[in-house]
Every structure is written in structure tokens, then in C-alpha cells.
Amino acid sequence: MIRSIAIGAALVAGAQAFSVVPAGMAPAHAATASSTSLRMSSAPVQGNTRRDAIGTLLAGGAGLVLPLRGGNDGPVPAASAEGGPYTLPPLPFEYNALEPHIDEMTMKIHHDKHHQAYVNNVNKALEGGQVMELVDLQKGAMASAAIRNNGGGHYNHAMFWTTLAPAAKSGAPSPALAKAIDESFGSMDKMKEAFSAAAAKRFGSGWAWMGVSPDGKIVIDSTPNQDNPLMDGVNCQKMIPILGLDVWEHAYYLKYMNKRPDYIKAFFSVINWSQVSEYYEQYASKGKAVPIQG
């Protein structure tokens, strides 16, 4: 699994960002404008300032230095199924806060059971191996089915919760994001039409995405299962996602049953546009993937 992945790392101004690439592939994303390669380094990295304190550890005798999650004050443990390193982030609102658009029972099962399972399973997949920031896990995730499905599932859901808000607090895109949407789609309504179509046409389980393309345009596409646009090799328009919609039946079936279009329509009432706008302005518009915590 993770041991079969070659790890490349780069420093980005003021903070560290890391990339993962399948063996034999060159790092491609501009999100990690490389100034200092850590590949095959034999010395630990010092001076990390990330808020969740990435540590470092020599990896499995391979001589790689990898960014690990944990404290800087002591040894950093390897991944374990129960103990992390990834954890289920709490919902930023009450289970019933999105009523009537998304019902309380769906939110409780979706967050506490489905998302928790992705967290448990990605921790299990990484057990005894190396761990990195959740966002950095995505790039090379397709090299491992377990990490693709569960590491993807964890990132996707962790982002999803942050982009939802009670209808009264949904708000509107910031002026900068609204301008970008207008430039790419002509209007907010046209963007919604395109997003709704992508979500409705995704056959089976998957996600609809809005993001920023490498040339700075707002784009929309969808991915199957728990894939996301950050994964190298994914069948999706290249973008840094800022908004995703879960169209797995577990996300809507209790309330909407077979009426996925009604769920998609309801979603637009509970988007946290303030958060999505921040993801656009602080990260995606600058070519950086959104560092979702989880």
C-alpha cells in the first residue's frame, strides 16, 4: 500500500506542503511549487509550523523522510486503526440544523457511521506505515484501492460538512467568487444548472464538484465512488475542488428515496457560501488544494 508509493515533498512559501506520486511518475501539480526536494533525504525535517504539527519520521528503513501527523514534542507513532492518525471531525452544526433540506437522521448516520467507517478504514490501511496530511494523501491515492476509497472518502466528507450550513446562514458567494462564477458560466443560475446536471448524471455513487481549473476558471465535473479531483489519474476535469456534493444514496435516500434531483435542489439551500468563498480565495484561486482537517 503506502510503502509502494514514492514520496515527493516540496516546501511552499511560509508553510510546508507535500505531494505523493505513484512510483515512476513525476509530481505534476503546481500546488506544490517546489523549492526544496526532500526525496530520499536522510535527515528529519525541522521547524514545522503547521497548526496540527506535522512531525517527521524515517520511513520503514527505506531512507525516506515523510511528513507525519503528530506533535513535535516526542516520538510520532505509526498509524493504527483505532488510534488514528486521522479522526472524524465534528459536524460544525447540530444534526438537525439542515432541516428540512437534509434530515437529522440522515446527517447522524452519514456523519457518525459512514464517515467514521472511512476514517477507521484509512487508518487501518495505513496501519504501521507512514501518514501525511489528509489533503496530501489524495494525489497518489489511486495507487492503493483502500486509500483511494477510504482516504478519498475521508477527505470528501470532511470537506462536505464544512461547506454546509443552516439555510438561514447559507449566504452568497463572495464578490470575488461570484465574479469568477459569472465569468465562467454567465450567471449563478447557469452554474447551478451545470452543477445539478453533473450531480444528476453521475451514474451510481459518486460526487459532483465545483473547483478551479489550472487556468483559473471555475469548472464543474463529477467523480465515481470516493474519487476526487485531487487524485492523479482520476477521470475528471483537472481542478482544485472547493465544493462537493455527495450523491451516494446514503446521503439522501431516507428523505428523498429515488428522487436525487430533489436532494440536489435542496442542497443549494444549505451551502455555506462563506466557507466555499474562503476556499476559493485563500487556496484554489492560488493553485493550492484546500487543507481540510480530519
| Grid cell of 18 as nine digits | 507535500
Q: Give the count of residues interacting with Fe ion (CB under 5 A).
A: 3
**In the complex with Fe ion, which residue's Cβ is closer, 199 or 251?**
251
Residue nearest to Fe ion (CB): 246
Region of 59-67, 207-215, 251-259, 272-280 interacting with Fe ion (CB under 5 A): 251-259
Q: Are 153 and 226 in contact (CB under 8 A)?
A: yes
Region of 57-65, 117-125, 250-258, 281-289 interacting with Fe ion (CB under 5 A): 250-258
Region of 51-59, 220-228, 244-252, 265-273 interacting with Fe ion (CB under 5 A): 244-252
Q: Select the residue interacting with Fe ion from 118, 161, 248, 252 (CB under 5 A).
A: 248
What does residue 188 show for φ and ψ, rounded to 5 degrees? -60, -40
Least distance CB 245 / Fe ion (angstroms): 10
Q: Are 220 and 193 in contact (CB under 8 A)?
A: no
Length in residues, the chain: 294
Region of 45-53, 80-88, 130-138, 249-257 interacting with Fe ion (CB under 5 A): 249-257
Q: Does 227 bind Fe ion (CB under 5 A)?
A: no
Region of 97-105, 238-246, 271-279, 283-291 interacting with Fe ion (CB under 5 A): 238-246
Q: Are 229 and 240 in contact (CB under 8 A)?
A: yes
| Grid cell of 146 as nine digits | 483502500
Report the C-alpha gap between 246 and 194 in whole angstroms. 16
Least distance CB 122 / Fe ion (angstroms): 14
Which candidate, 242, 226, 230, places its Cα nearest to that of 177? 242
Q: Does 246 bind Fe ion (CB under 5 A)?
A: yes
Evaluate the CA torsion angle 98, 101, 103, 106 in order and state its sign. Answer: negative
**In the complex with Fe ion, which residue's Cβ is closer, 136 or 246?**
246
Least distance CB 138 / Fe ion (angstroms): 16
Site for Fe ion in 126-165 (CB under 5 A): none
**In the complex with Fe ion, which residue's Cβ is closer, 248 or 283?**
248
Q: What per-residue string of b and e applies to 171-196 under the rule 16 or more CB within 10 Å gives b?
A: eebbeebbebbeebbeeeeebbebbb
Binding site for Fe ion (CB under 5 A): 246, 248, 251
